[in-house]
Chains A and B, each alone.
Chain A
Amino acid sequence: MNDEQEKQVPPLTKEQKRAVEEHLRQVRKQLRRNLWKAYRGWWYWRTTLKKYRKTDIKNTAVILMPEAHDRDNYFALRYIDQMLRQHKFRKALILTHSGTVKKSAELFSNAITAVVDCPRKKAEELMQFYCLYNFDKRFFCASLDEPYGRNGSRIIGARGITAEEIFVIGVYRTYPYEQMPPPKYEGDDTKVAEFLKQGDIAIEEAAKSYTQENSS
């Protein structure tokens, strides 16, 4: 720091110093907690892979759906085959705590090995481990806003870009973007039918952004 700036910054008072130390203590605590969380995430990752080691796990994409947010879960399922093709995986293993995903996963793809129940706490631990480093190319965190710093929702609507496009390009790393047809459902489970309506919402949103783009 140069002298000029030194003059600009007034020294902290005793009280301010105390507040800073208290704040730093909190940050250290948070850091310790998050490192522990990351360690537990590593453990969960390891045990999950071990459990499915006989199902061609080396060629399996592991998709974590951390939210009960229907929109992201729907996109994650709808584009699963396209993603597997592009990244040269044969199968997919889904980790989720959403009951609807468990019920409707088979409507979207035949390549899903299993839908594993992953409580929110475990998902958070796994994401914390992912925040530590990119531990495995097979891992996908299927959310526009998680883990911390993803901020995908912020650019929805920018220049007519839809949530669907951001998800496919920015989360599944699939490019160029190509829209996949929605699955057909003839059952009578209202929750599944409601979940599949996300497809119509996405189409509406795309149409809106298309007109917005053209008008601008």
Chain B
Amino acid sequence: MKKRLKAILKRIAVKSVEPFPSLRNAVVELAGYIEYATLKRKFGVNCVIGACAWEGTGDYYICGMYANIWTNINYVNNLCFICKDKAKENIMALFPSMQVRTYIPERINNMYYLRFLAKFCGIDFHWFQYNSDDPKIARGVMQQAPPGALSGYKGFEILDSFIYGGFSLPRDITPEIPQFDYDLNKIDALFAQVSAVQGKTVLIAPYSASLRGLEPPQEFWIQIVGTLQSRGYSMLTNCAGKEQPLPNTKPLLVPYALSVPFLNAAGGFIGIRSGLCDIISTTTAKKIILYPYEAIYWPDGMSLAFTGLNHMGLCDDAVELEFAPMWANMDEITKKVLEQFE
């Protein structure tokens, strides 16, 4: 009750000063302080707070790869990483050697205030997402630049932005290796759950949080599913929550810890570029990554240059295909995808 009242009062305070930017932001700083104090009282004075884009599955994965190195170099022994939910926490759990605690705040939106305070007071809060932040808060060169001007510029990709900008590490540093769960019983159980055949299964990932609304049209997937099924493949759709499986495919939510072992056994992955592609980048299965032309967080046509898996160095065997504007080369892409599963 007390907490609820506090939240309501805070919201009223923020709303009432909405028309006066400087006063409003001063109130936001105070709200940020409340969040900061909550975290410090929970984790202790020496805890350092880290965060990245709340929704970005791949961003958490990249942070997991480099957070431990960063903590060692900067003598941080109590990094508390803010995760949006349990799923994001599971991504960080792929790096068990990490000396990092995760924290799921009651309201992720309140963390926005904390970011305000960090930029205003220079507290021990680290936003590792160098390439993206709210321009209202951030004063970084990538936020000040015209939208997306530095994304993909001269080949500057998203991993560069994390390593150089977010973590301030040398590019050739060896990242932490994720540890997946290779329990054969669990993998067999997943295959049994959807009656799929090992070595003859293709997992399709048609959804992406960073490209929401920009997914290829349904007929593209229908053609791929139909043809591969006629070639004897079991077709699965990776979907969670309200996401719907593609027609004639079985829905399956593969836990992150099992994603790579599952795909190694399945044989194939076709997905629109999403955070899941970062996580499964080390799989030995055939992986076809599709890049829509349009983008939300970087300029159109720069998806491959800015987020290409091979270009980022996460793997070198991904088959990466980029759509033309308005899906003009859809037939060509379909043909190329199907060629991989002859």
Residues of chain A at the chain B interface (Cβ within 8 Å): 1-2, 5, 8-9, 12, 16-17, 19-20, 22-24, 27-28, 30-31, 34-35, 38, 42, 128-135, 141, 144, 147-152, 154-155, 158-161, 165-166, 169-171, 173, 175, 213
Contacts and interface: CB of A to CB of B under 8 A. Distances in A.
B22 A42 contact: yes
Chain B interface helix/strand/loop/mixed: helix
Contacts of B130: 151, 154-155
B121 A31 contact: yes
Contacts of B279: none
18 contacts: A2-B86, A2-B104, A5-B104, A9-B42, A9-B43, A24-B36, A24-B37, A132-B29, A134-B135, A134-B136, A141-B139, A148-B139, A151-B140, A155-B164, A159-B160, A169-B141, A169-B153, A170-B149
Among B130, B150, B156, B160, max chain A CB count under 10 A is at B150
Interface in B124-170: 130, 135-136, 138-142, 144-146, 149-150, 153-157, 160-161, 164-165, 168
A30 B123 CA distance: 9
B44 interface: yes
A30 B36 CA distance: 14
Contacts of B141: 144, 150-152, 155, 166, 169-171
A44 B131 CA distance: 32
Interface in B73-131: 86, 101-106, 117-123, 130
A23 B150 CA distance: 38
B156 A5 contact: no
A9 B101 contact: yes
A13 B105 CA distance: 23
Interface in B44-88: 44-45, 86
B286 interface: no
Contact of A158 (B33, B117, B138, B171): B171
A213 B141 CA distance: 21
Given A148-B119, A151-B141, A27 B22 contact: no
Tier of interface size on chain B? 35 or more
Given A42-B22, A154-B164, A148 B150 contact: no
Contacts of B117: 31
Contact of B45 (A5, A16, A147, A148): A16
A31 B29 contact: yes
Contact of B168 (A128, A152, A154): A154
Nearest to A39: B22
A20 B45 contact: yes
A104 B70 CA distance: 42
A23 B40 CA distance: 9
B114 to A, nearest CB: 12
A147 B139 contact: yes
A27 B45 contact: no
B104 A155 contact: no
A19 B141 CA distance: 36
Given A5-B102, A161-B156, A133 B144 contact: no
Given A1-B104, A148-B122, A155-B141, 8 more contacts: A2-B86, A20-B41, A28-B33, A129-B22, A151-B130, A151-B140, A175-B145, A213-B155
Nearest to B141: A170
A74 to B, nearest CB: 17
A150 B138 CA distance: 8
Nearest to A213: B154
Given A30-B121, A31-B29, A31-B33, A155 B161 contact: yes
